[in-house]
């Protein structure tokens, strides 16, 4: 260790460190600085004792005040839940028609339903319920399973071809793939479907044959006149509204491979008040019966 010397110019002791002839003076730290430093040390010790601070292997020191941001958030969430429960309580005991006829309940149901629709239904049905190919439009007058409040509620609770025991079900068979019909027969019956909807048919289609095939194979679900059947979710083929598309290729494809879209059951995922709100909201979209 270098020997300490006194700097000749300032008369201050040096630390003995020297770089290229520059020497470091050993001036004491300013008093105010030291006090601030001691104060922060004391403060940090007090803080460790009071507040959660040091991480440990599996836990952390919790401090004697028991402060926890998580607890604060949980309290706020609880308060919000209580508020919502108070507002929603009326809905839990009311039936759907009553909710629709009571302005205060209707207002709550619509707001609640709209936000739940955006979170849960919009990915498949579109944000305004307009639907996509294979996902039905919910704001027109065409209903596969029924458009009354109770029908919609039932669809929501248990789904369609879902994994719930009480689901709505009924599949359209794969007539081509399962060799129930030959390709020529599929062509004829597909054209007959076009004629039912008032659309142009192919010149080489045998519509007489198509009609016979329709009566034998399709009418059991779609009805003699093609108006559909809600018990099995078979769509009306005459209204010009198509879930999958109206062009001949799409119809042939459906007859060949069958149809059976799946809508999930919500009874185990959403609370009863939200499910009622959704039924009322969906009913209000335009096609409610
Ligand atoms: C994973 C996609 C999916 C989600 C999510 C979904 N649906 Fe559906 N929904 C469908 C499909 C597909 C059908 C048509 C089933 C069929 O072909 O019968 C359908 C049918 C319906 C029907 C019956 C329409 C009719 O014509 O009878 C209603 C009502 C409905 N959905 C409402 C909702 C609501 C409300 C939600 C949100 C809670 C929702 N759906 C979420 C896919 C979905
Ligand atoms: C066992 C009942 C059943 C039979 C039999 C049946 N269908 Fe269907 N069909 C359905 C159901 C249910 C749907 C709707 C499937 C869905 O929602 O995904 C459907 C859908 C369709 C569609 C699509 C409609 C649209 O909006 O896009 C066409 C077209 C159709 N069927 C034609 C036929 C023809 C033609 C036959 C006879 C060869 C036939 N179906 C026989 C039940 C049946």
3-state secondary structure 151-220: HHHHHHHHCECCCCCCCECCCECCCCCCCCCCHHHHHHHHHHHHHHCCCCCCCCCCHHHHHHHHHHHCHH
* Residues 142 and 121 sit within 8 Å (Cβ to Cβ): no
Give the integer Cα–Cα distance in Å for 226 and 237: 5
Do 133 and 275 lie in one domain? The reply is yes
Return d(Cα 204, Cα 87) in angstroms, integer.
64
Looking at the fold, whether 91 and 117 belong to one and the same domain comes out as yes
Considering the domain boundaries, does residue 12 fall inside one?
no
Query: Does 43 map to a domain?
Result: no
Cα distance between residue 276 and residue 102, in whole Å: 14
Q: Which residues of 139-150 are buried (b: 16+ CB within 10 A; e: fewer)?
A: bbebbbbbbebe
- Name the residue at shortest CA distance from atom 2 of ligand 1: 124
For residue 237, give the CATH number of its domain: 1.10.760.10
For residue 14, the model assigns a pLDDT of: 86
Which range has the worst mean pLDDT, 102-106, 117-121, 215-219, 246-250? 102-106
| Adjacent-strand bridge partners of 60 | 55
Å from CA of 125 to ligand 1 middle: 7
Give the model's pLDDT for residue 119. 93
Please state, for a pLDDT cut of 70, what percent of the chain lies above it: 99
Nearest-atom number in ligand 2 for the CA of 241 is 26
Ligand 2: atom nearest CA of 186 is 38
Q: Quick one: 196 and 278 in the same domain? A: no
- The preferred substitution site among 222, 228, 231, 261 for testing ligand 2, maximizing ligand atoms within 8 Å of CB, is 222
Mean pLDDT of 118-145: 93
Q: Which residue minimizes the CA distance to atom 3 of ligand 1?
A: 124
At residue 2 the predicted structure's pLDDT band, cuts being 50, 70 and 90, is low
Q: Is the pLDDT of residue 122 over 80?
A: yes
CA pair distance 223, 236, nearest whole angstrom: 8
**Any ligand 1 atom below 6 A from CB of 153:** no
Q: Mean pLDDT over residues 162-180, rounded?
A: 95
C-alpha span between 100 and 281 (Å, rounded):
9
Q: How far is the CA of 121 from the centre of ligand 1 (A)?
A: 7
Query: What mean pLDDT is reported for the chain?
Result: 92
For residues 156, 158, 160, 166, the Cα torsion angle rounded to the nearest 10 degrees is -150
Q: Is the CB of 131 under 6 A from ligand 2?
A: no
User: Is the C-beta atom of 113 inside 6 A of ligand 2?
Assistant: no
In this structure, the answer to whether residues 147 and 77 fall within a common structural domain is yes
29 located within any domain: no
Q: Is residue 65 in a domain?
A: no
Angle, in degrees to the nearest 10, between helices 272-284 and 69-93: 60
Selected residue with higher pLDDT from 2 and 41: 41
How many domains are there within the chain? 2
- Which DSSP symbol is given to 55? B
Q: Which numbered ligand comes closest to the C-alpha of 284?
A: 1
Going by CA atoms, what residue is nearest to atom 42 of ligand 2?
172
Does residue 222 line the site of ligand 2, with CB under 6 A? yes
Query: Looking at residue 26, what is its pLDDT?
Result: 87
Residue 193 and residue 153 in one domain: no
- For atom 39 of ligand 2, which residue has the closest CA? 218
Query: Cβ(173) to ligand 2 under 6 A?
Result: yes
Residues 142 and 280 in one domain: yes
Of 2-11, 229-238, 276-285, the one with minimum mean pLDDT is: 2-11
pTM over 0.75: yes
Average pLDDT over residues 180-184: 96
Residue with tokens 């009306």: 236
Answer for the pair 17, 7: CB distance below 8 angstroms, yes or no.
Answer: no
Q: Tell me the residue range of the domain where 225 lies.
A: 183-257
Query: How far apart are the C-alpha atoms of 279 and 91, rounded to whole Å?
Result: 12
Check if the beta carbon of residue 125 is closer than 8 Å to that of residue 101: no
Do 231 and 94 reside in the same domain of the chain?
no
The ligand 1 atom at the shortest distance from the C-alpha of residue 147 is 27
Residues 95 and 160 reside in one and the same domain: yes
Nearest CA owner, ligand 2 atom 34: 218
Please tell me the residue having the least CA distance from ligand 2 atom 19: 234
Residues 216 and 273 in one domain: no
Q: What b/e sequence results for 217-255 when a residue is b if at least 16 CB atoms lie within 10 Å of its CB, and e otherwise?
A: bbeebbeeebebbbebbbbbbbbeebbeeeebeebbbbb
What's the pLDDT score for residue 3? Answer: 62
Tokens of 20: 């290229």
**What number is the average pLDDT over the span 245-255?**
96
């Amino acid at each position: 260790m270098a020997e300490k010397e006194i700097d000749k110019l300032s008369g201050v002791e040096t630390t003995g460190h020297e770089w290229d002839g520059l020497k470091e003076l050993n001036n004491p730290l300013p008093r105010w600085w030291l006090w601030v430093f001691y104060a922060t040390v004391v403060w940090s010790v007090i803080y460790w004792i009071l507040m959660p601070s040091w991480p440990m292997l599996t836990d952390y020191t919790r401090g004697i005040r028991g402060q926890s941001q998580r607890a604060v958030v949980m309290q706020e969430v609880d308060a919000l839940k209580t508020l919502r429960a108070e507002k929603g309580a009326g809905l839990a005991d009311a039936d759907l028609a009553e909710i629709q006829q009571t302005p205060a309940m209707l207002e709550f149901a619509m707001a609640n339903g709209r936000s739940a629709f955006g979170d849960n239904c919009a990915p498949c049905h579109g944000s305004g319920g307009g639907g996509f190919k294979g996902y039905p439009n919910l704001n027109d007058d065409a209903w596969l399973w029924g458009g009354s409040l109770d029908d919609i509620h039932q669809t929501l609770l248990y789904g369609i071809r879902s994994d719930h025991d009480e689901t709505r079900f009924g599949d359209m068979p794969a007539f081509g793939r399962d060799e129930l019909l030959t390709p020529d027969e599929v062509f004829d019956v597909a054209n007959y479907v076009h004629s039912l909807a008032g659309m142009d048919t192919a010149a080489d289609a045998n519509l007489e044959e198509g009609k016979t095939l329709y009566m034998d194979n399709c009418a059991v679900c779609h009805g003699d006149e093609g108006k559909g059947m809600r018990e099995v979710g078979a769509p009306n083929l005459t209204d010009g509204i198509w879930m999958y598309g109206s062009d001949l290729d799409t119809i042939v494809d459906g007859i060949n491979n069958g149809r059976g879209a799946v809508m999930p059951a919500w009874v185990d995922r959403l609370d009863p008040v939200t499910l009622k709100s959704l039924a009322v909201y969906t009913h209000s979209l335009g096609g409610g019966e």
